[in-house]
């Protein structure tokens, strides 16, 4: 049962529904606020109250600098069309940077009632590497055996080994086979992600079964916004709109967010207005959107505790199943969750979480290549404070100390790694201001 529950949270099945026309651009928040103040003072007061509540929670978010997550994209391909061009991968990274910094042009389409709760995660994504693996394997979530496409994440089984999952977001791209049970087709999976472990609003076993499965898997047809491949909507009503937002959605799961309707209705879970995603400013909904842009949806006619009134379904949210052409926002409550996950269970992903990084976020040491086989070069930025020690700790606990490049900052050190046993190493650079640590994977 728990395994089935896990699937219930990960599935992203496609339902037949034609795309509606894009939303019109709506009037501005000032006009809305003016009307509220003069015509609906009670409603205006409710908004003020929710603003205040959010502000209480928000200062830490508002004052910080953007956080940067490094992404490794593994393209595991069999047929040439699955071997996506670099330009498509880069457009995907660009979409993530827009959506996670509220720089997407379609924020203007957000309905006024939800404008006060829109949040800006301020999370940046930096492409660390594109790893390409030609495969003969097939990749499928298996409802009978519970296999979560583990072969996709193993070089020995036709997939691609992850880079250190505690330091990098691993994003695997492949052809995902349609979901089926007992030979009955259930739909196409567009992608899935493991949430961080030990979050109270997820089932206890929803994290990756082993660290090397942690990350996000995407079907090759939904990556980027200039993807020439298409996904048909079942029923022959056309193709899905693809703007790179399956990745936005799946990375939302990876960073702790659940579907805004609370995941009811899938695989035997009750579908009603009591299912919560654990976030207070996402309105209750008793079902997911159907890959459309239906702004008339209001599946739970009830006073929302957070809003103090009934509000429609939040189809603009990245964590619903609306068409990618009308998704455009995370809420402030969701942003707080993303932030708290990056300060907690996924803090290893954040580049430069030491005091040094906050002082000089652009100038960080670099290890390249990583992973490596023969050698690795450690670059030290020129404007770094005096380095007091550089050492490398192996998984066996053995520590080797390296000669310092020079007394005050800057320089590079080449290391011959040919005789190092395969595995993870922690490279630590110490200065008077703190310690910078990077993980290095040595492969044989
Ligand atoms: Zn999802």
Q: Which residues of 222-259 are buried (b: 16+ CB within 10 A; e: fewer)?
A: bbbbebebebebeeeeeebbbbbbbbbbbbbbbbbbbb
The strand pairing partners of 274, in sequence order, are none
- Ligand 1 center to 399 CA (angstroms): 42
The CATH number of residue 379's host domain is 2.60.40.3080
Structural domain containing residue 435: 363-442
Q: Is 374 an annotated catalytic residue? A: no
pLDDT at position 43, please?
A: 59
Whether 278 and 376 map to the same domain: the answer is: no
- Ligand 1 center to 327 CA (angstroms): 13
- Ligand 1 center to 414 CA (angstroms): 43
- Ligand 1 center to 97 CA (angstroms): 19
Q: In what order do the strands lie in the sheet with 366-368?
A: 366-368, 375-380, 411-416
Strands (E), 139-234: 169-174, 179-181, 184-187, 191-193, 216-219
Whether 279 and 428 map to the same domain: the answer is: no
Which pLDDT tens digits describe the chain residue by residue (444 residues)?
Answer: 233 333 333 333 322 222 222 222 223 334 444 555 565 566 556 655 554 544 444 444 444 568 999 999 999 999 999 999 999 999 999 999 999 999 999 999 999 999 989 999 999 999 999 999 999 999 998 888 888 999 999 999 999 999 999 999 999 999 999 888 888 877 888 999 999 988 888 888 888 889 999 999 999 999 999 999 998 876 667 888 999 999 999 999 999 999 998 877 655 567 788 888 889 899 999 888 888 889 999 999 989 888 889 999 999 999 998 999 999 999 999 999 998 889 888 989 997 643 333 333 346 677 777 777 888 878 777 777 777 778 887 767 677 777 776 554 567 777 888 888 877 777 888 777 677 777 777 777
pLDDT at position 234, please?
A: 60
- Ligand 1 center to 378 CA (angstroms): 39
Residue 274 lies in a domain: yes
Q: Is residue 231 left, alpha or beta, with left meaning phi > 0 and alpha meaning psi from -120 to 50?
A: beta
Strands (E), 94-224: 118-119, 123-134, 169-174, 179-181, 184-187, 191-193, 216-219
Whether 432 and 324 map to the same domain: the answer is: no
What distance in Å separates the CA atoms of residue 246 and residue 250, rounded to the nearest whole number? 6
Question: Domains in the chain: how many in total?
Answer: 2
Burial class (CB in 10 A: 0-12, 13-18, 19+), 59: exposed
Picking from 301, 318, 348, the residue at the C-terminal end of a domain is 348
Whether 341 and 402 map to the same domain: the answer is: no
Residue 372 lies in a domain: yes
- Ligand 1 center to 72 CA (angstroms): 21
Whether 340 and 367 map to the same domain: the answer is: no
Residue 353 lies in a domain: no
Considering the candidates 250, 304, 316, 438, report the single residue annotated as catalytic.
Answer: 250
- As residues whose CB is below 5 A from the ion ligand 1, the structure lists 12
Whether 309 and 404 map to the same domain: the answer is: no
Residue 355 lies in a domain: no
Length of the chain: 444
What distance in Å separates the CA atoms of residue 137 and residue 52, rounded to the nearest whole number? 53
Whether 100 and 134 map to the same domain: the answer is: yes
Picking from 348, 373, 390, the residue at the C-terminal end of a domain is 348
- Ligand 1 center to 99 CA (angstroms): 16
Residue 200: CB atoms within 10 A of its CB come to 6
Whether 327 and 370 map to the same domain: the answer is: no
The strand pairing partners of 331, in sequence order, are 118
Strand-strand pairing, 67-77 and 169-174: parallel
Whether 186 and 263 map to the same domain: the answer is: yes
């Amino acid at each position: 049962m728990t395994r089935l529950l896990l699937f219930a949270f990960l599935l992203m099945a496609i339902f037949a529904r034609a795309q509606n026309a894009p939303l019109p651009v709506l009037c501005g928040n000032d006009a809305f606020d003016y009307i509220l103040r003069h015509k609906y003072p009670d409603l205006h007061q409710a908004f003020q109250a929710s603003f205040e509540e959010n502000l209480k929670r928000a200062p830490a978010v508002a004052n910080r600098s953007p956080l940067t997550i490094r992404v490794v994209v593994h393209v595991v391909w069999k047929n040439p069309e699955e071997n996506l061009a670099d330009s498509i991968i880069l457009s995907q990274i660009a979409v993530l940077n827009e959506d996670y910094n509220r720089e997407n042009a379609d924020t203007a389409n957000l309905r006024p009632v939800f404008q006060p709760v829109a949040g800006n995660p301020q999370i940046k994504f930096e492409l660390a590497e594109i790893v390409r693996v030609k495969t003969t394997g097939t990749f499928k979530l298996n409802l009978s055996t519970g296999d979560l496409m583990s072969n996709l994440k193993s070089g020995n089984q036709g997939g691609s080994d992850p880079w250190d999952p505690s330091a990098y977001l691993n994003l695997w791209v492949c052809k995902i086979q349609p979901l089926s049970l007992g030979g009955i087709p259930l739909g196409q999976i567009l992608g899935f992600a493991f949430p961080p472990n030990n979050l109270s609003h997820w089932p206890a076993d929803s994290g990756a079964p082993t660290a090397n499965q942690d990350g996000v898997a995407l079907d090759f047809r939904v990556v980027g916004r200039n993807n020439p491949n298409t996904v048909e909507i079942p029923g022959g009503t056309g193709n899905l709109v693809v703007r790179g937002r399956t990745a936005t959605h799946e990375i939302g799961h990876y960073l702790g967010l659940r579907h805004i309707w609370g995941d009811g209705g899938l695989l035997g879970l009750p579908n009603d207005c009591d299912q919560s995603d654990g976030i207070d400013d996402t309105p209750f909904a008793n079902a997911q959107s159907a890959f459309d842009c239906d702004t008339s949806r209001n599946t739970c006619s009830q006073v929302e505790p957070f809003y103090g009134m009934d509000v429609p379904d939040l189809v603009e949210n990245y964590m619903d199943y609306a068409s990618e052409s009308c998704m455009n926002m995370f809420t402030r409550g969701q942003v707080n969750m993303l932030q708290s996950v990056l300060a907690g269970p996924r803090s290893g992903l954040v580049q430069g979480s030491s005091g040094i990084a906050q002082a000089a976020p652009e100038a960080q040491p670099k290890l390249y290549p990583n992973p490596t086989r023969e050698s690795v070069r450690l670059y030290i930025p020129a404007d770094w404070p005096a380095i007091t020690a550089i050492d490398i700790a192996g998984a066996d606990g053995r520590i080797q100390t390296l000669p310092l490049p020079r007394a005050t900052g800057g320089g590079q050190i080449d290391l011959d790694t040919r005789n190092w046993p395969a595995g993870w190493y922690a490279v630590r650079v110490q200065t008077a201001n703190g310690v910078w640590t990077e993980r290095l994977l040595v492969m044989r």
